[in-house]
Structure 1
């Protein structure tokens, strides 16, 4: 038994005394499939749709009632599809085959509404939806007397896209590779006294009052004393030499 039995097979008649065993089996299977189909429909629609629907006895009638809720006016739908057919453009990304097949699908929907165009017009619309890079393809089509079929256009456009992508790849600048690795050895750090920028005529110039006041607020993160920063701390310099991270000035390498 399949769940779509209630959608494809006719509804059985009510059982009576003359019903055979095959009639009873068909009756039970059909109504069981109907219940299963309704459970699937009930579980797939949203709460908003379910609250405004009257659940019918037959699954096929239940589906038709839902379809009527989303039924669109044929004129409005045709106008929307026609506008989409002429405004849909290929932006160069993705597969051009998918773009052309999407245009064909839209035109098929318009034909169902008796508003579609012929294949030659679809080919013209498809060519106008392409980028300027496909200008040679458009010129080639306009110079020929024969008209292309839609399937022929798709094949030609796919080959043209492959050619364009190949040309872009060849024209792309080569990426330079840095073969010089970074030096990972231990750096030779030697503590040297910082040059005083405030010296004048061999004498240390006086700091401005604002700078002196700010210096009094500075706190060393190493010795926790006020008046200097960590890199100028004598205790930090001695600790660096002790740990081997720096060499005391005046010592020579072994």
Structure 2
């Protein structure tokens, strides 16, 4: 029998991995589809709800999340009603199991047990409901404090600004495209001053697509210019190095005369 020893670092890594699997995500098979859901821990309800809805829809068992329970079957029920009823019951069972399995145990207290998947989602949503005013304030703060730092590309930066505009619109705060264009241009670094001046000198406003195409084109020009400058500097340094090296070699071999002064002691 072989004895294996585990270092403290390895043991710690294994514990972290186990905690991650248990407390952060669950992965299981639904209708032969592997789905991963972030575990509801009390502060990530929005992400958890999105994961549940996406996973159930991808597995084609989300019927019970979006519809109420159908009427009970009777002797007069037709085949279509029986088919819908059977599919809904299966969907409800899978959705309930998926939801309850992805919630930490101490958060399950007070939640209804004899209910449909749609009713359970409604109950959980009520528990973690956040004021729309708080959402608006948070989104506005992020939007108007954004600055382009060069990471991710200027196209992605503008799209992120538009994403906040869309989220605010869903909360009935409709920011016009002209406001978004101004915000995007004003938060670009000084290197984009040419395109800012061009926009301010025109009377016709730009659309979001116009903005994206123009700033991306300007970004490409700036990158190309920086590349050319870098190549020029590298070439200049290389040329200077060659001249210096050649001069030194000539002096060493006596092919170049050096002006030297001989000082005699008087």
- With normalisation by structure 2, the TM-score equals 0.60
Report the Cα distance in structure 1 between the residues aligned to 2:65 and 2:132, rounded to whole angstroms. Answer: 26
Contact 2:64 2:92 (8 Å CA) reproduced: yes
CA deviation profile, 1:158-210 (whole Å, cap 9, x unmatched): 111111111111112328899xxxxxxxxxxxxxxxxxxxxxxxxxxxxxxxx
Q: Whose Rg is larger?
A: 1
| Counterpart residue number, 2:103 | 45
CA deviation profile, 1:83-132 (whole Å, cap 9, x unmatched): 11110111012211111111111112212222232111110001011111
| Counterpart residue number, 2:170 | 112
Structure 1 residues 93, 29: closer, same or farther in 2, change over 3 A? closer
SS of the equivalent of 2:234 reads coil
| Counterpart residue number, 1:97 | 155
Structure 1 position 159 matched with structure 2 position 217:
yes
- With normalisation by structure 1, the TM-score equals 0.63
Report the Cα distance in structure 1 between the residues aligned to 2:224 and 2:114, rounded to whole angstroms. Answer: 59
CA deviation profile, 1:5-44 (whole Å, cap 9, x unmatched): 2234552211233334543343222111110111122233
Q: Which runs of 5+ in 2 are unaligned?
A: 1-30, 32-59, 242-266
Report the Cα distance in structure 1 between the residues aligned to 2:139 and 2:146, rounded to whole angstroms. Answer: 10
More helix by share: 2
> Residue 145 of structure 2: which of 79, 84, 87 is its match?
87
Aligned length: 178
Alignment of 1:171-250 (within 5 A): 171-172=229-230, 173-174=233-234
Structure 1 residues 163, 45: closer, same or farther in 2, change over 3 A? farther
Report the Cα distance in structure 2 between the residues aligned to 1:165 and 1:47, rounded to whole angstroms. Answer: 53
